[in-house]
């Protein structure tokens, strides 16, 4: 199931990486709606016959075949304002609707709309010039991915404004929709909805404006803004203006509710455009995040794959660096490329090569180029690249990089791997390879669950960050335990993305159908100990060998060997391994197994995965959590310091090996997982621990054989049930109940 916040028809608006020091820019936006170009000319009427709808009501039908047009009539009154909503409905809804309204003569086109409703549905508003019977045609948009399916048409008449405050809010049910009008530019409409704790909801409102709209002269179209308030009616919980800038000015967000109650929605229009009033449709839906795939939020659906060419058996793309004055038809100056700038681009493309197994070669022959690149200056954008999307025609593969943005030209090191400008290159070539922003619907992508803005909104499980996808505008790791790190000249050379992130890698592998072998030997990944050039966030794509992540310093660190699970969860894009106060680290791509972790001289936390892990703490008071490796027994070595060793599970094949418990007088402790052994958290009851080879009575649960170092759990003491090996102390440590804690 996919969260349908996307547009299926590619538009002319391009999403640019504005970052934190420039504005976002959209190029090539279409102007006012051209009725002559939108009008459809079908030779046959649909097989529904002529249907009739009354004002305030609805009618449904089916687009049976490609080219089918269903005809509906409605009686309208002169001088009255009406809204018309056409949306896909039923078991197999039409994916992208197209709506036209004709005058009382049945032939004069009054208004038409493609995507003015929520997602790819249609909506329009107009005032009837004459009393009489008007004709409506319902169809599917020509270029939609699914040209058939069910539809519903709703017609509403504008009336008095009834919901001007929380106190008279109009009720809306979950999994339902309501229609309304913004009567004036200062209008505020309120709706009340009952939401349940522990449930995730989406909220969407559309007012007829879409990528064909001229936003300086809105006419009977609403550029909506949507707010969510807590049950007190005043605390704002969420807000969205535009789903996708000039491409989709509808509003939408998702929200996870923690307290059951009546919540309030407010709708008002963007006020900086004349005539921006009209009808709208509001929808509230309950969703299950488990039914959604975060990769859909970065998939530019309408983009083709890069047109690689076979060179000696290897797929190859050619990169052309435009000379000074060479613009490829793009606005603004073209400044040419320095050797350092070219090297940065080719280094970034090497990250794509590792994932896709392809080559990128610089070419001096323009006609050979797969990618055509310019450097430029602008106050409107940081950089942009056109995807391999047919909507962009001859512009596909062109990119422009603003040398005045992100420290590109002004900060030495920003173009180095892990520098801010280097991350911009990764981001733009993400577009060039078919990746989209997680915060908008470019190219038919979804909006990542919980994301309500391009920056500062991290979404469900905080997955909308550069450390998880370089397509995010929240660069780096904004939720780093040491705080948000914003762009500045001082920190531009380090602490940003130095590779593609886990979601990017997975989406590219899916889109291109490859799992390219990489780092097949035994590899060591060393955590950075300084905030300096060369320190950055990297996602590990490693296809073999026995590997480890290690830290060689004295600060505290966290090493987590959990690979990305590619879902909406805390591990969806992997877990960051990092050093305290250092803005750099590793995540692990889906499908990658890193077996071992080695800590440094601080108080470290080492967390394993499904493999038989070796977790070595080093100095300091370390905690080791093996996570019951499915491929064998985890090995713990604490090293110097008072260390904690986590033990869980009831499978002897996965019993933990603890190699140095208490060595050197260390006050080590075994952490027993409460749920595994049916215990309450706290100290271990000495009456359920016994040293020997068997339980002495029914109360004995933990049996430690000090002759061979084996620790057993026995669920029924000296009853019929067999004891299970859960750990082995390789140094034959002397133990009693005080060496254990239950968590």
Contact 300, 224 (CB under 8 A): no
- Per-residue pLDDT band for 526 (boundaries 50, 70, 90) equals very high
Token pair belonging to 221: 């179209």
Count of helices and strands (H, E) across the chain: 5, 44
Between 319 and 653, the higher pLDDT residue: 319
Domains of the chain and any CATH numbers = 35-157 (2.60.120.380), 166-287 (2.60.120.380), 309-459 (3.40.390.10)
pLDDT (0 to 100) of residue 277: 85
Q: How far, in Å, are 196, 271, 509, 544, 725 from residue 517 at the CA level?
A: 46, 54, 12, 8, 38
pTM score:
0.83
Residue 230 per-residue DSSP state: -
* Percentage of residues of the chain with pLDDT beyond 70: 90
Residue 190's beta-bridge partner residues?
A: 266
Between 37 and 221, the higher pLDDT residue: 221
Task: Summarize the confidence of residues 167-195 as an average pLDDT.
Answer: 93
Q: How far, in Å, are 81, 267, 272, 443 from residue 186 at the CA level?
A: 18, 11, 11, 33
pLDDT (0 to 100) of residue 235: 97
CA–CA distance, 394 with 648 (Å, rounded to integer): 59
Instruction: Give the range among 17-31, 333-347, 564-578 with minimum mean pLDDT.
Output: 17-31
Tokens 């071992």, residue located: 596
The number of CA neighbours under 13 Å toward the Cβ of 21 is 18
CA–CA distance, 717 with 723 (Å, rounded to integer): 8
- Per-residue pLDDT band for 218 (boundaries 50, 70, 90) equals low
Residue 350 per-residue DSSP state: H
Give me the phi and psi of 347, to 5 degrees please: -65, -45
Token pair belonging to 100: 């036209």
Contact 586, 538 (CB under 8 A): yes
The total of other beta-carbon atoms located within 10 Å of residue 175's CB is: 10
Average pLDDT, the chain: 90
pLDDT of 397 strictly over 90: yes
Q: Give start and end residues of each alpha helix (H) in 436-555.
A: 502-512
CA geometry: angle 297, 301, 302, nearest 5 deg: 145
The total of other beta-carbon atoms located within 10 Å of residue 8's CB is: 20
Tell me the pairing of strands 58-63 and 149-157: antiparallel
Contact 566, 293 (CB under 8 A): yes
**Beta-carbon contacts of residue 486 (< 8 Å; ≥ 6 apart):** 20
pLDDT (0 to 100) of residue 272: 58
The model's pLDDT over 433-476, given as tens digits with 9 standing for 90+, comes to 999 999 998 999 999 999 988 999 999 999 999 999 999 999 99
CA–CA distance, 295 with 559 (Å, rounded to integer): 25
The model's pLDDT over 646-689, given as tens digits with 9 standing for 90+, comes to 999 898 988 999 999 999 888 999 999 999 999 999 999 999 99
pLDDT of 697 strictly over 60: yes
Contact 677, 704 (CB under 8 A): no
pLDDT of 144 strictly over 70: no
Residue 299 per-residue DSSP state: B
CA–CA distance, 568 with 571 (Å, rounded to integer): 8
Task: Summarize the confidence of residues 399-424 as an average pLDDT.
Answer: 97
Task: Summarize the confidence of residues 693-712 as an average pLDDT.
Answer: 96
Report the b/e string of 235-267 with b at 16+ CB within 10 A: eeebbbebbbbbbbbbbbbbbebeeeeebbbbb
pLDDT (0 to 100) of residue 629: 59
Task: Summarize the confidence of residues 240-266 as an average pLDDT.
Answer: 86
pLDDT (0 to 100) of residue 542: 97
pLDDT of 7 strictly over 50: no
- Per-residue pLDDT band for 22 (boundaries 50, 70, 90) equals very low
pLDDT of 562 strictly over 80: yes
- Per-residue pLDDT band for 628 (boundaries 50, 70, 90) equals low
Tokens 């002397």, residue located: 734
User: Which of 45-59, 265-279, 466-480, 629-643 is most confident?
Assistant: 466-480
* Percentage of residues of the chain with pLDDT beyond 90: 79
Instruction: Give the range among 66-70, 126-130, 166-170, 657-661 with minimum mean pLDDT.
Output: 66-70
């Amino acid at each position: 199931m996919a969260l349908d916040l996307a547009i299926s028809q590619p538009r002319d608006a391009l999403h640019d990486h504005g970052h934190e020091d420039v504005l976002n820019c959209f190029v090539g936006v279409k102007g006012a709606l051209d009725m002559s170009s939108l009008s459809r000319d079908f030779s046959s009427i649909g097989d529904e016959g002529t249907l009739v709808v009354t004002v305030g009501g609805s009618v449904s039908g089916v687009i049976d075949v490609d080219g089918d047009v269903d005809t509906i009539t409605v009686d309208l009154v002169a001088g009255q304002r009406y809204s018309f909503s056409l949306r896909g409905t039923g078991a197999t809804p039409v994916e992208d609707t197209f709506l036209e309204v004709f005058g009382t003569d049945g032939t004069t086109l009054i208004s038409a709309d493609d995507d003015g409703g929520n997602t790819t549905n249609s909506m329009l508003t107009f005032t009837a010039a004459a009393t009489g019977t008007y004709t409506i045609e319902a169809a599917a948009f020509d270029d939609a991915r699914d040209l058939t399916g069910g539809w519903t048409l709703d017609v509403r008449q504008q009336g008095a404004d009834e919901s001007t405050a929380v106190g008279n809010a109009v009720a809306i049910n979950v999994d339902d929709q309501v229609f309304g009008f913004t009567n004036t530019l200062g209008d505020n409409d309120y709706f009340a909805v009952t939401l349940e704790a522990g449930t995730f909801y989406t909220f969407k409102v559309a007012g007829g404006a879409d990528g064909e709209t001229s936003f300086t002269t809105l006419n009977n179209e609403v550029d909506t803004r949507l707010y969510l308030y807590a049950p007190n009616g005043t605390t704002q919980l969420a807000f969205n203006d535009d789903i996708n800038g000039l491409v989709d000015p509808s509003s939408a967000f998702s929200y996870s509710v923690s307290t059951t109650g009546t919540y309030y929605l407010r709708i008002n229009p963007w006020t900086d455009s004349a005539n921006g009033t009209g009808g709208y449709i509001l929808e509230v839906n309950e969703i299950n995040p488990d039914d959604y795939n975060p990769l859909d939020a970065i998939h530019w659906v309408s983009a083709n794959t890069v047109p690689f060419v076979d060179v000696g058996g290897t797929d190859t793309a050619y990169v052309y660096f435009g000379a000074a004055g060479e613009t490829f038809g793009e606005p603004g100056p073209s400044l040419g490329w320095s050797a350092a700038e070219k090297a940065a681009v080719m280094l970034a493309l090497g990250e794509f090569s590792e994932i896709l197994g392809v080559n990128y070669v610089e070419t001096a022959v323009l006609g050979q180029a797969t990618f055509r690149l310019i450097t430029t200056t602008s106050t409107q954008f940081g950089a942009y690249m056109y995807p391999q999307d047919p909507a962009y025609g001859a512009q596909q593969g062109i990119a422009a990089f603003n040398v005045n943005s992100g420290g590109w030209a002004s900060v030495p090191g920003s173009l180095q791997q892990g520098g801010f400008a280097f991350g911009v290159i990764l981001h733009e070539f993400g577009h060039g390879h078919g990746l989209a922003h997680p915060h908008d619907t470019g190219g038919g992508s979804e909006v990542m669950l919980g994301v309500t803005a391009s920056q500062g909104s991290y979404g469900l499980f905080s997955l909308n960050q550069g450390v998880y996808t370089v397509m995010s505008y929240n660069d780096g790791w904004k939720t780093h335990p040491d705080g948000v790190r914003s762009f500045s000249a001082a920190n531009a050379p380090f602490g940003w993305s130095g590779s593609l992130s886990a979601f990017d890698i997975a989406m590219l592998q899916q889109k291109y159908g490859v799992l390219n072998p990489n780092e097949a030997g035994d590899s060591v990944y060393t955590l950075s100990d300084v905030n300096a050039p060369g320190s950055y966030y990297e996602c590990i794509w490693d296809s073999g060998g026995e590997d480890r992540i290690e830290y060689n310093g004295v600060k505290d660190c966290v090493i987590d060997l959990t690979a990305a699970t590619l879902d909406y969860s805390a591990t969806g894009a992997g877990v960051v391994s990092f050093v305290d106060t250092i803005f750099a680290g590793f995540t692990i791509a889906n499908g990658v197994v890193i077996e071992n972790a080695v800590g440094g001289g601080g108080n470290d936390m080492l967390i394993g995965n499904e493999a038989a892990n070796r977790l070595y703490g080093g100095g300091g008071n370390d905690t080791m959590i093996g996570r019951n490796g499915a491929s064998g027994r985890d090995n713990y070595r604490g090293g110097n310091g008072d260390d904690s060793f986590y033990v869980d599970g009831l499978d002897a094949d996965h019993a933990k090996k603890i190699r140095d418990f208490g060595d050197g007088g260390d006050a080590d402790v075994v952490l027993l997982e409460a749920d595994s052994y049916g215990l309450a958290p706290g100290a271990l009851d000495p009456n359920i621990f016994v040293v020997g080879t068997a339980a002495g009575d029914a109360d004995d649960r933990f049996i430690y054989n000090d002759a061979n170092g084996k620790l057993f759990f026995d669920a029924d003491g000296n009853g019929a049930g067999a004891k299970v090996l859960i750990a082995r102390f390789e140094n034959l440590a002397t133990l009693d109940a005080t060496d254990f804690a239950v968590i």
